[in-house]
């Protein structure tokens, strides 16, 4: 089964450089296949180049999709990571 959730990028620098690196590190903790959809692009959430290539800026809506044993947890925790924890990194 595929789990997905739409989230809004909250941190000032979007999913670029350091935030992308932190996100990929977090996504890599999960066994599931995790994808990010943004503006007709779909990339592996565990790929730093993929995540950075999205160009998702602050206020962008992205969709997290996961398939695998820990997919529900992956989607929920990564959504929280994007909406809350990356914002804390900005401060």
Catalytic residues: 16
- Residues β-bridged to residue 44: 35
Sheet holding 61-67, edge to edge: 2-8, 61-67, 33-38, 41-44
* Per-domain boundaries in the chain: 2-90
**Whole-structure pTM value:** 0.93
pLDDT band at 69 (very low <50, low <70, confident <90, very high): very high
The DSSP result for 19-73, as a single string, is HHHHHHHHHTT-SSEEEEEETTEEEETT-HHHHHHH-PPTT-EEEEEEESTTHHH
Class of domain 2-90: alpha beta
Q: Tens digits of per-residue pLDDT, 19-38?
A: 999 999 999 999 999 999 99
């Amino acid at each position: 089964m595929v789990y997905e959730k739409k989230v809004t990028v909250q941190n000032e620098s979007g999913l670029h450089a350091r935030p992308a690196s932190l996100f990929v590190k977090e996504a890599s903790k999960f066994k599931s296949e995790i994808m990010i959809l943004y503006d007709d692009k779909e990339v592996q959430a565990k790929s730093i180049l993929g995540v950075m290539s999205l160009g998702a800026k602050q206020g962008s809506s992205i969709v997290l999709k996961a398939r695998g044993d820990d997919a529900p947890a992956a989607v929920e925790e990564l959504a929280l990571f994007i909406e809350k924890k990356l914002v804390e990194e900005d401060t």
